[in-house]
Amino acid sequence: MINVFSWQKFQLSDFFCFLRGKGITKEEMFENQGNIPCIQSGETNNGIIGYMDGSFINDKKHTFVSSPFLSVARSGTSGCVHVHTKDSYIGDSVYALKLTDRESIPIYLFLATLLNKERYRYRYGRKVSIEKYIKEYIRLPVNNDSKPDWNYMEAYINSLLDYSRIETKIEKKTLPLDITEWRQFKIDDLFTLSIAASSDLGSLERGNVPFIGRTENNNGLQAFVSVGKVNKGKCITVSMVGTFNALWQEHDFAASQNILVLRNGSLNVYRALFIVTIINIMIKNKYSYNRPIQKIKFINNTIALPVDKTGSPDWQFMENYIKALPYSDKINIGKKYAYNR
């Protein structure tokens, strides 16, 4: 785990310069097809909306950017950052950020990850103003001279690409999974349910409390915040609208609205990973955007679970099953999030 406590703040203008994008039309892309990416705001396909030839490289009506660079969505998916490794045209819904004295793609990847963590600032229709964005601060690792440690950033990203380091001590084996002997249990009989105390992410300052939102990515984690409304961890969270996803939360957390909390004192991370898989199957089959989850009705749902000799949920079997899976030894529950702004 990265220790960020020694990191220091730097203004983006200390090492980035920026370029403004200009309009790109569908007609231009159709009439001038080529292999140069055209970039606009968008989370998918790295922001690429099409390709053109080199007709406009020196045209003042278009913005051509040499690689590598970052694109920052000005509107739409405001604040979304992508790394680009090919020379590109950028449209009027994005800005380009280029390091003033670095060409390392791993460094761009490192910085893009940090900048995307700041994206929560631009939710709810707030557009990105490049004049303000370039004056924002981010925390970076530093060298002995208290300057950004570019070598560390590059080495860290390169280490992630070394797949030979990913090993497991768990021998490949399969525990029997005979679901014909499983029994149906009502959600209300398995869990104590409540609605999570909620906060508005856009109004919160950064801190060290994980903020769980209605997203299926990153275990629901959207940011780290400083907030008074904290929910106790060691529970299952369920998005009641949107993604309809069940997730295990090991640590105390802040939450967005419409998060259902399920608690059972017999749960640990291994047992929870087993049971949330089953809950998610049930949820995906029953709920959609026009049928949100309601607590009063959700408690009557049933799920099938393995049982012990007494007919009770076999928690130990669930735990053993997850622990027998390859790479289960990589599940880290002993360390809290290491973040400090």
Cα 192 to Cα 190: distance, rounded to the nearest angstrom? 7
Do 136 and 188 sit in the same domain of this protein? no
Please identify every stretch of the chain with a pLDDT value under 50, giving residue numbers as ranges.
Answer: 334-341
Q: Nearest Cα to 10, choosing from 153, 222, 121? A: 153
Structural domain includes residue 172: no
20 and 150 assigned to the same domain = yes
| CB 72, CB 16: distance < 8 Å | no
209 and 276 part of one domain: yes
Residue 341 is assigned to a structural domain of this protein = no
Whether residues 198 and 307 share a domain: the answer is: yes
Question: What would the pLDDT profile of 191-245 be if each residue is shown by its tens digit?
Answer: 999 999 999 888 888 888 999 998 888 899 988 998 768 999 999 999 998 888 9
How far apart CA 182 and CA 171 sit, in angstroms, is: 26
Pair (189, 153) in one structural domain: no
CATH number, domain with residue 274: 3.90.220.20
In a domain, 168, yes or no: no
Q: Which amino acid does the sequence have at 326?
A: P
Q: What is the residue whose two structure tokens read 């991370």?
A: 269
Tell me, yes or no, whether 207 and 308 share the same domain: yes
So what's the pLDDT on residue 94? 95
**What pLDDT, on the 0 to 100 scale, is given for residue 1?**
59
Residue 338's pLDDT is 43
What are the φ and ψ backbone dihedral angles of 282, each rounded to 5 degrees?
-65, -45
**Residue 322: Cβ-neighbour burial (10 angstroms; 0-12, 13-18, 19+):** buried
Closest CA to 256 of 303, 306, 212: 212
Domain shared by 152 and 195, yes or no: no
What residues contact 131, with CB distance under 8 A and at least 6 apart? none
pLDDT number for residue 341:
37
The per-residue pLDDT for 274 is 96
Q: Cα–Cα distance between 6 and 142 in angstroms, integer?
A: 8
Shared-domain flag, residues 121 and 185: no
> What does the alpha-carbon distance between residue 303 and residue 188 come to, in Å, rounded to a whole number?
11
Which among 129, 160, 191 is the end of a domain?
160
Write down the pLDDT at residue 161. 76
pTM: 0.57
Distances (CA, A) of 9 to 105, 239, 340: 22, 34, 11
Residue 99 falls within a domain, yes or no?
yes
Q: Which domain holds residue 53?
A: 8-160
Assess if residue 165 is contained within a domain: no
Residue whose entry in the numeric block shows the structure tokens 């990515």: 217
| Residue 133 and residue 206 in one domain | no
Q: Is residue 169 part of a domain?
A: no
Closest by Cα among 85, 79, 81, 47 to 65:
85
Tokens of 106: 């791993």
